[in-house]
Structure 1
Amino acid sequence: MSSLRAKIQDVFDEPACEQNRGKDAKARKKGCSKPLTPGAAAGGCAFDGAKIVLQPITDVAHLIHAPLACEGNSWDNRGAASSGPTLWRTSFTTDLAELDVVMGQGERKLFKAIREIKEAYGPPAIFVYPSCVTALIGDDIEAVCKRAAEKFGLPVVPVNAPGFVGSKNLGNKLAGEALLDHVIGTVEPDDAGPYDINILGEFNLSGEFWLVKPLLDRLGIRVRACIPGDARYFDIAGAHRARAAMMVCSTALINLARKMEQRWGIPFFEGSFYGITDTSEALRQISQLLVKKGADPEILGRTEALIAEEEAIAWKKLAAYRPRLEGKRVLLNTGGVKSWSVVHALMEIGIEIVGTSVKKSTVEDKERIKQILKDDNHMFEQMAPCELYAMLSEHKADIMLSGGRTQFIALKAKTPWLDINQERQHPYAGYDGMVELVRQIDLAIHNPIWRQVREPAPWDCQPAGREELPSTKSETATLRVVQEFAGTTADDFGEC
């Protein structure tokens, strides 16, 4: 536990975090998360955050050393996609019971589970995650993993992030520490080149990184490792030989990017593949970093040629949507990198942003929003469901972009809604992804169902030339039955 405590303290004292640099030593030790209210939902625990970051490594077996309920359903995993192995979707758990805890059988059961996975699946590595239960009873998973690795001849990686140590975001960073301590740098690739890069904090949701990778391929840039989206264990193990890195979600893995720069001299920048301008700028910065690290400067010219070609195609496709969407108002209830990158992307085609959540955004994210929107009046830390409902029901926004948890607020307010978070079904990254995002917004706003659901129901209308409709529910139901049997049609009713 002492090593875990030291690791957490190290993560809290993150020098690459702009907000941390402005604190004194005492304030940094408290971390960035707000104190949690007992009994209140905290948006995920550290165990959840670590598993989110590492499970998209597709050829690894992910073993949860915990009671059965800690594993849950691993099949969907927040929409991350794989181009090959599906082992990452299989649930592995030691399924600890009360008797195992009482009799101290946890470590023995863990060792047995590792052996069974090795014999049945033969993965390149096994990642082991303790939960609150196994951490509290004192199971030494690091010792078990070390012994199993020696016995079975494959890497067994302890991911020491039990849920009680902190928030989901802390778990993200502890997962990055596990990669640094046990994976990255353990394999020396024999094909390292001057155009190798790492993409950090990209989860390949709905396969959207596959819309970006062909652009890099055309420039001759090889993605040595995309961590974690559609990753392979040995790609990550050799990621230390990349020449440059792009950080997509700094909230999750800024510590990984900084320490890889310190240990192996891999410079990084934070960028986004959402929107035409941001995608182009990301390609430029990747090329510039590679040139600084020794690549041929001619790649800069090829990058500009590619950008000009792709932007022309994208703007031509978007021209058809501009008359239909220009001036439409969007409410964004998301966070992180999407709080500013999607804002920029939508404003490029004339959509007005009436508000954007910054609940999970870094200080740098908030500064970008201020620069894009020219003020901070449209930023809100969090908005209660009743406030969201009031804003939508008063027609202050034409559509809400958010995660699945708030979709029912929009539906109750009879307002179009589009999923922008990890459960979405469509990829929105890159030039083609931006066109798809705009197309989905257009389809949602102009769906005829919204005009129909906003109209009063026929039984709420005043019949033409008839007595006033009954007011009670029972009388209304009786009248509807009578009208049905009497052959009353819609033409018998007047305008609402």
Structure 2
Amino acid sequence: MSSLRAKIQDVFNEPACGKNRGKDAKARKNGCSKPLIPGAAAGGCAFDGAKIVLQPITDVAHLVHAPLACEGNSWDNRGAASSGPTLWRTSFTTDLTELEVMMGQGERKLFKAIREIKEAYAPPAIFVYSTCVTALIGDDIEAVCKRATEKFGLAVVPVNAPGFVGSKNLGNKLAGEALLDHVIGTVEPDDAGPYDINILGEFNLSGEFWLVKPLLDRLGIRVRACIPGDARYRDVASAHRARAAMMVCSSALINLARKMEQRWEIPFFEGSFYGITDTSEALRQISRLLVKKGADREILDRTETLIAQEEAIAWEKLAAYRPRLEGKRVLLNTGGVKSWSVAHALREIGMEIVGTSVKKSTVEDKQRIKQILKDDNHMFETMAPRELYAMLSEHKAEIMLSGGRTQFIALKAKTPWLDINQERQHAYAGYAGMVELIRQIDLAIHNPIWRQVREPAPWDQPVVQDKLRGTRSETATVHALKSPARQLAASATVEESR
């Protein structure tokens, strides 16, 4: 646990994080997130964050050393896609029971599970994840993994990120530390070249990276490793021979990018593949870094030629949507790189951003937002569901782009909604992805269902209401005449008249 404590402290003191640099020494020791509330860690603990970063390495067996519920809560929590191996889709867990925890049999069962996976699947590596229970009872997964590596002749990688140590974002970074300590640099490629790059913090959600990789292929740029999206173990292990790197999500793996630059002199920049302008700028930045590292300057001209061709195609396709979407108001309830990259992409088509969440955004992200929107009044750290509902029901936005957690707020407000987080079904990266994003927004806003649900219900129509009121008054009169008191009074009147 002492090594884990030192690792966590090292991550907290990350010098490449602009937000961290702005703190004093005391605040820096407290970390980047609020402490977790007991019982509310599902989907947001350090273990979950580590699993998110490493599970898309597709040919690796991911073994969770814990009771069954930990793997059940974390499995398949991202919409990453694979072009080949499917081993990562198989769930492995030691499934510790209360008796095994009490009797101290966790390490023995872990070693046995590693042997069974090796014999049944023969993967190039097994990643072993510690969790709250196994960390608290003191199971030494590093010692077990080391012994298993020697015994079975394959890489068994310990991932020390038990849930109680912090937030999901901390788990992202601890996963990066595991790669640095046990994976990257362990394989020497025999085909390293001057046009090799790494893409860091790209998860290939809904196959998004597959829209970008063909562009790099046309430029003769090879992706040595995309970490973690659609990755292979040997590619990650040989990532130290890349010449440059692009950081897609700095809030997740900035420590990985910085330390790779220190150890292997791999320069990096943070960019985005969302939107036409940002995609073009990312391609230019990659080419410039490669030239600085010794590549032929001719790649700069080829990059500009490719950008001109792809931008012309994309703008031609987008021209049909501009009259339908220009001036439409959008609320972005997301964070991180999407807080500014998607905002920039939508501004290109003429849409108005009325608000964007910066909850998971870095200082650099916030600066980009200010440059794009020219106003920080549209930035909000958090917005309560009641405030979101009020904003949408008052028609201050015509569509909300967010994750699945807030979709029902938009639906209750009878406002179009589009998923742009990890559960999304469409790929929005690159030039083709930008066209698809705009197409989906157009479909959502102009879906005829919204006109129908906003109309009064049939029983709330004025004519129907008048009829209902008339029917109610007639019914009330009939009921009054049929009441026993009225019938008795009527009989008495008849007798008197006789």
CA distance in 2, matches of 1:239, 1:467: 75
Return the offset for 1:427: 0.1
Indicate if the aligned counterparts of 1:66 and 1:94 stay in contact, CA closer than 8 A: yes
Indicate if the aligned counterparts of 1:462 and 1:469 stay in contact, CA closer than 8 A: no
Task: Report the equivalent of 1:481.
Answer: none
Task: Report the equivalent of 1:237.
Answer: 237
Letter matched to residue 15 of structure 1: P
Q: 1:42 to 1:148 in 2, by over 3 A?
A: closer
Say yes or no: does 1:416 pair with 2:416: yes
Letter matched to residue 240 of structure 1: H
Return the offset for 1:331: 0.4
Task: Report the equivalent of 1:283.
Answer: 283
Deviation digits for residues 407-446 of structure 1 (CA, Å, limit 9, x no counterpart): 0000000000000000000000000000000000000000
Say yes or no: does 1:51 pair with 2:16: no
Deviation digits for residues 222-275 of structure 1 (CA, Å, limit 9, x no counterpart): 000000000000000000000000000000000000000000000000000000
Return the offset for 1:462: 2.3
SS at match of 1:77: coil
Normalized against structure 2, the TM-score is what?
0.93
Say yes or no: does 1:393 pair with 2:393: yes
CA distance in 2, matches of 1:323, 1:162: 51
Query: Which structure dedicates a bigger proportion of its chain to helix?
Result: 2
Indicate if the aligned counterparts of 1:74 and 1:91 stay in contact, CA closer than 8 A: no
Task: Report the equivalent of 1:365.
Answer: 365
Task: Report the equivalent of 2:179.
Answer: 179
Letter matched to residue 66 of structure 2: A
CA distance in 2, matches of 1:107, 1:471: 76
CA distance in 1, matches of 2:113, 2:150: 15
Indicate if the aligned counterparts of 1:332 and 1:339 stay in contact, CA closer than 8 A: yes
Task: Report the equivalent of 1:492.
Answer: none
Task: Report the equivalent of 1:165.
Answer: 165
Letter matched to residue 278 of structure 2: D
Q: How does 1:45-444 map to 2 (within 5 A)?
A: 45-72=45-72, 76-444=76-444
Q: 1:388 to 1:466 in 2, by over 3 A?
A: closer
Return the offset for 1:379: 0.4
CA distance in 2, matches of 1:414, 1:140: 53
Q: 1:378 to 1:315 in 2, by over 3 A?
A: same
Letter matched to residue 272 of structure 1: S
- Please list every run of 5 or more consecutive structure 2 residues that lacks an aligned counterpart in the other structure: 476-498
Task: Report the equivalent of 1:478.
Answer: none
CA distance in 2, matches of 1:138, 1:170: 21
CA distance in 2, matches of 1:40, 1:222: 42
Letter matched to residue 440 of structure 2: Q
Deviation digits for residues 339-361 of structure 1 (CA, Å, limit 9, x no counterpart): 00000000000000000001111
Indicate if the aligned counterparts of 1:36 and 1:42 stay in contact, CA closer than 8 A: no
Letter matched to residue 187 of structure 2: V
Over alpha carbons, which structure has the higher Rg?
2
Return the offset for 1:400: 0.4
CA distance in 2, matches of 1:399, 1:19: 31
Return the offset for 1:221: 0.1
Indicate if the aligned counterparts of 2:36 and 2:166 stay in contact, CA closer than 8 A: no
Letter matched to residue 453 of structure 1: V
Letter matched to residue 198 of structure 1: N
Indicate if the aligned counterparts of 2:42 and 2:73 stay in contact, CA closer than 8 A: no
CA distance in 1, matches of 2:303, 2:100: 59
Deviation digits for residues 301-353 of structure 1 (CA, Å, limit 9, x no counterpart): 00000000000000000000000000000000000000000000000000000
State how many pairs are aligned. Answer: 473
Letter matched to residue 177 of structure 2: E
Return the offset for 1:34: 2.5
SS at match of 1:422: coil
CA distance in 2, matches of 1:14, 1:457: 56
CA distance in 1, matches of 2:241, 2:382: 41
Return the offset for 1:386: 0.6
Q: 1:120 to 1:36 in 2, by over 3 A?
A: closer
Return the offset for 1:22: 2.6
- For the aligned residue pairs, the C-alpha RMSD in angstroms reads 1.5
Return the offset for 1:460: 1.0
CA distance in 1, matches of 2:317, 2:87: 38
Return the offset for 1:455: 0.5
Aligned identity (percent) is: 90
CA distance in 1, matches of 2:256, 2:144: 25
CA distance in 1, matches of 2:133, 2:299: 53
Normalized against structure 1, the TM-score is what?
0.93
SS at match of 1:198: strand
CA distance in 2, matches of 1:438, 1:90: 35
Deviation digits for residues 83-119 of structure 1 (CA, Å, limit 9, x no counterpart): 0001001100000000101111000000000000000
Say yes or no: does 1:31 pair with 2:37: no
Q: 1:232 to 1:25 in 2, by over 3 A?
A: same
Return the offset for 1:42: 7.9
Deviation digits for residues 194-222 of structure 1 (CA, Å, limit 9, x no counterpart): 00000000000000000000000000000
CA distance in 1, matches of 2:81, 2:465: 61
SS at match of 1:47: helix
Task: Report the equivalent of 2:12.
Answer: 12
CA distance in 1, matches of 2:465, 2:138: 80
Task: Report the equivalent of 1:489.
Answer: none
Indicate if the aligned counterparts of 1:43 and 1:167 stay in contact, CA closer than 8 A: no
SS at match of 1:212: helix
SS at match of 1:377: helix
Q: 1:376 to 1:471 in 2, by over 3 A?
A: farther
Letter matched to residue 425 of structure 1: Q
Q: 1:447 to 1:329 in 2, by over 3 A?
A: same
Indicate if the aligned counterparts of 1:42 and 1:167 stay in contact, CA closer than 8 A: no
CA distance in 2, matches of 1:282, 1:471: 69
Runs (4+) off by over 3 Å = 35-43, 73-77, 464-472
Q: 1:159 to 1:470 in 2, by over 3 A?
A: farther
CA distance in 2, matches of 1:42, 1:63: 18
CA distance in 2, matches of 1:38, 1:204: 32
Return the offset for 1:41: 5.7
Return the offset for 1:31: 1.6
CA distance in 2, matches of 1:260, 1:252: 15
CA distance in 2, matches of 1:226, 1:275: 20
CA distance in 2, matches of 1:88, 1:36: 28
SS at match of 1:138: coil
